[in-house]
Chains A and B, each alone.
Chain A
């Protein structure tokens, strides 16, 4: 079958002259989903937006063509079309589903208007409102007058994303580009959105280009995969082939880094020691809403407990409450059997340490790493300057950063290096408990794997107990001994990793497991 849209030798450079795409090829056939996979900075979005003849500000097309062959009309090269003709192609023949619907829907326009304008702009012959209702119903949204009259802020994130998809499919285009459309959605909603996309593509015979960083999503959705690295497509092929027998070393590394529930790593089980940190009846209310409601949790010496929950479950509130960053309204906290004072004593502050989600926000850009690491030592210990310096150097080595990093600023470091430094800062006071709040979610998958490995090493070498807070159940086998599942501020299930994964007791846990994409089940 010949391709609906085919990109050949695409080169793109910044207006400063630096080339960011070095001759990219991809092609999508009718009814097919091609996943364009890559980490941040790989150029996947730039390569995909070329399908609409669009380059973001500061980027310019320097070579290559995009050929389009639809049901009704063809163009040899979308990139050389006159502006007016290209405008006629966009939204009608090739459409786009944006990454963040909260930013891409116009907050001052009604939903109905934003979907219908695609039809009116291209002179749809037929009943516009009827088609809008149909398109909204196709993506599982109500197509009634009330819904059409709503504004974007009155919808949930999942609904907003479906509106974006409806607007992309409303003119029955021949090709559609989907730019990570499930970012920021919980796994259940993500699964529903992916099903919708799959269904629409199959039914209408649309060629779909799906941009993502998530190989697990690719496995369940795509027909073919193109893997991008640093502005080049390094490997293309059918999804099963790529995932089971990758040829390029980068693809192999990428696949190995993806956490997967189906893979059982060999890891020593941690000894179940005495409880270090214990909380009984933790509660927290914001306004009238209970964010935490009677949470009991225990963390034993040397173990890693995964606190699993989706956004809004209260997991960060709990983690911060345990770390003393946030006062809880109710609950008894104890450390080594002693109740935790408010405010905590120096020794207690030293013993429980917290690592933030984003390494881009947790380090002061105006401090060198050494200076950042010294802060907790200066305020929480009696060490003198020389002893502090030694301890900082020690710690940097421990997180594999080396002393050359001591006098560098965070601005010059990668996300992974920053997160190592942040972990070093948390460990510098030799805590008994380390609370890691979504520490991998702001990082690319390959970096994520190395941070998980670092935390495992730290645990092995220092025996620090760890509370690993995450929304991603797929990490369970790689990091944790036990799992506690948090939903609406309550612990709904608790047990060893094996117990919970093999025999989930609570409906919510079962639902999570059912909707979590896995690489071992490619289409």
Chain B
């Protein structure tokens, strides 16, 4: 039995005692730093602006060569991390908040036998019948490609997945006597969910947060890679891969730089998430 102190802080502290989590965090921070500082550093480092013509298209010489329109690859790489990160974070936030609220409502009403639970979960099943990317493509086909739409669609498709986890966690907590006691003392449902349930399911929710962030990065980058996300001439990692992949043999950096950045980022977030999951499982196993 581990002494459970204040919930999320304790879990994070124990997670980062694992080397895997520290390595993952370092990888993540490295890419985040590139994405945040890159737009400023790029022109200083290379002498080119994001849209400047730097030479013959697909030239291999120079730090990383030029792209399909003869723009400097390194400059555009340094400037292109922002859109991926911002969209991924926003989509994750929508998914986690929406999923946690609906999952908790479903799980809690499940223990009281209300109709809300099957309603929420069956609704989720419908969304779960589409691969996330395919649903995003359907939305783009109908409504056209725009940044906020993709963020919204990816976020919404996260919701039923997060809700399933939140519901399961809530069910196991809501069956505990302390929740029954709170109900006996006349505590209103909103307060029970906020003070009795939520603090006890932060472990699984934080794991979901990490997982959804990893997937969001993948989906956002994939859609840009398919040419259906961020539109030219913006600098964006996914788009950059799409623009330069025909010249992979002659000027590989235009593809490799963004591919490696996305790889390092998702591997980093996934390593932290996995460590969190192990720690969270150990803790709940220990208390129960």
On whether A362 and B199 interact (CB within 8 A), knowing A325-B184, A376-B185, the answer reads no
Interface of B is mostly: helix
Q: Are B187 and A411 in contact (CB under 8 A)?
A: no
Query: Looking at chain B, what size class is its interface with the partner chain?
Result: 20 to 34
Q: Are B184 and A354 in contact (CB under 8 A)?
A: yes
Q: Are A411 and B2 in contact (CB under 8 A)?
A: yes
Q: Say if the beta carbon of A409 comes within 8 Å of chain B.
A: yes
In the assembled complex, the Cα of A362 lies from the Cα of B186 at a distance in Å of 16
On whether A356 and B3 interact (CB within 8 A), knowing A349-B186, A366-B200, A379-B186, the answer reads no
Q: Say if the beta carbon of A358 comes within 8 Å of chain B.
A: yes
Q: Say if the beta carbon of A341 comes within 8 Å of chain B.
A: no
In the assembled complex, the Cα of A380 lies from the Cα of B187 at a distance in Å of 9
Q: Chain B residues near A38 (CB, 8 Å)?
A: none
Q: Chain B residues near A356 (CB, 8 Å)?
A: 177, 180-181
Q: Which of B5, B177, B187, B196 has the most CB of A within 10 A?
A: B177
Query: Which chain A residue has the least Cβ–Cβ distance from B173?
Result: A364
Q: Are B4 and A375 in contact (CB under 8 A)?
A: no
Q: Are B180 and A349 in contact (CB under 8 A)?
A: no
B208, chain A: closest CB distance, angstroms: 19
Q: Are B196 and A364 in contact (CB under 8 A)?
A: yes
Q: Say if the beta carbon of B178 comes within 8 Å of chain A.
A: yes
Q: Are A409 and B178 in contact (CB under 8 A)?
A: no
Q: Chain B residues near A349 (CB, 8 Å)?
A: 184-186
Contact with A along B175-213 (1 / 0, CB 8 A): 011101111111100000001100110000000000000
In the assembled complex, the Cα of A483 lies from the Cα of B185 at a distance in Å of 29
Q: Chain A residues near B287 (CB, 8 Å)?
A: 365, 411
Which of B1, B6, B186, B195 is in CB contact (< 8 Å) with A380? B186
Q: Say if the beta carbon of A386 comes within 8 Å of chain B.
A: no
Q: Chain B residues near A357 (CB, 8 Å)?
A: 177
Q: Say if the beta carbon of B7 comes within 8 Å of chain A.
A: yes
Q: Say if the beta carbon of A53 comes within 8 Å of chain B.
A: no
In the assembled complex, the Cα of A455 lies from the Cα of B3 at a distance in Å of 28
Q: Say if the beta carbon of A412 comes within 8 Å of chain B.
A: yes
Contact with B along A187-200 (1 / 0, CB 8 A): 00000000000000
List A residues at the B interface (Cβ < 8 Å).
323-325, 346, 349, 354, 356-358, 361-367, 372, 375-376, 379-380, 409, 411-412, 425
Known: A362-B178, A365-B287, A375-B182. 14 other contacts (CB 8 A): A325-B184, A354-B184, A356-B180, A364-B182, A366-B4, A367-B195, A372-B178, A375-B185, A376-B185, A379-B186, A409-B5, A411-B2, A411-B5, A412-B3
Instruction: List 15 interface pairs A-B (beta carbons < 8 Å), by A numbering.
Output: A346-B186, A349-B185, A354-B181, A356-B177, A361-B178, A362-B178, A364-B178, A364-B199, A364-B200, A365-B200, A375-B185, A376-B185, A379-B187, A411-B3, A425-B181
